[in-house]
Amino acid sequence: MRRVEGGAVPRPRSTSDVDILAAAGRAIGMHGPGKLTLAQVGAEAGVSPATLVQRFGSKRGLLLAFAADAAAGAGEPYRRARAECESPLAALYAVAEGVARMMATPDVLANHLGMLQLDLSDPEFRVHAVAHTRAVDAELRELLAEAVAQEELPADVDVAQLARAVKITTDGSLLRWALTGDGDPAELLRSDLDHLFRRVE
């Protein structure tokens, strides 16, 4: 193990930043960014609030790190689904279902939407939100282009426009479910995507 000046051996971090940011995401789902405390994130991650301050500086610093990490990893669910699924459209549905399953209750979705308020009102958060949106758009366009190439979709479909419609359908379907509380969000989302794709056949 590398020694630092003076011969001291640095202590390894028992909880990585990746684990802490994942815990922050779960805590946001439980409490929302406005009511979130470092103690709540620390309890979820198994670290002290002082450790969070040492690594991220403040609650704002932690939330910005969470937003940046979410943007950097926005394409990962699509790449993982592409590797696991038998077709591009199956991969798209798998990602959509994964998103729906994360929103276990309307309250969880509402708490995550609290980040949207920051994205829209705070320029530092908006940078990451824009990057996240563009990354998702790029992944959707790629999946849909592959679906066209494999004849799952018509050759003349406007891939860019359809990718936009898929994202709007996904967001709108989950929001409507959160408002009504009716049905299973994953099943409703699948039905709405089915309807969208039937219109382009």
Q: What is the pLDDT of residue 13?
A: 59
CB 33 within 8 A of CB 63: yes
Ordered by start, the domain boundaries in the chain are 1-72, 75-201
Return the higher-pLDDT residue of 19 and 10: 19
End-to-end Cα spacing for the chain? 60
Question: What is the enclosing helix (H) or strand (E) of 172?
Answer: helix 159-180
Non-local (6+) Cβ contacts of 6 within 8 A are: none
What is the mean pLDDT of the segment spanning 47-69? 97
CA 122 – CA 72 distance, rounded (Å): 19
Q: 1-72 sits in which CATH class?
A: mainly alpha
Q: Looking at the whole model, is its pTM more than 0.85?
A: yes
CA 106 – CA 87 distance, rounded (Å): 31
75-201 CATH, one of 1.10.357.10, 3.20.20.220, 1.10.1040.10, 3.40.50.740: 1.10.357.10
pLDDT of 194 strictly over 80: yes
pLDDT of 3 strictly over 80: no
Q: What is the pLDDT of residue 181?
A: 85
Q: What is the pLDDT of residue 192?
A: 97
CB 87 within 8 A of CB 147: yes
What is the average pLDDT value for the chain, to the nearest integer? 92
Domains 1-72 and 75-201 belong to one CATH topology: no
pLDDT digits (tens, 9 = 90+) for 98-145: 999 998 889 999 999 999 999 999 999 999 999 999 999 999 999 999
Q: What is the DSSP string of 41-57?
A: HHHHHTS-HHHHHHHHS
Length in residues, the chain: 201
Task: Place 199 in a pLDDT band, splitting at 50, 70 and 90.
Answer: confident
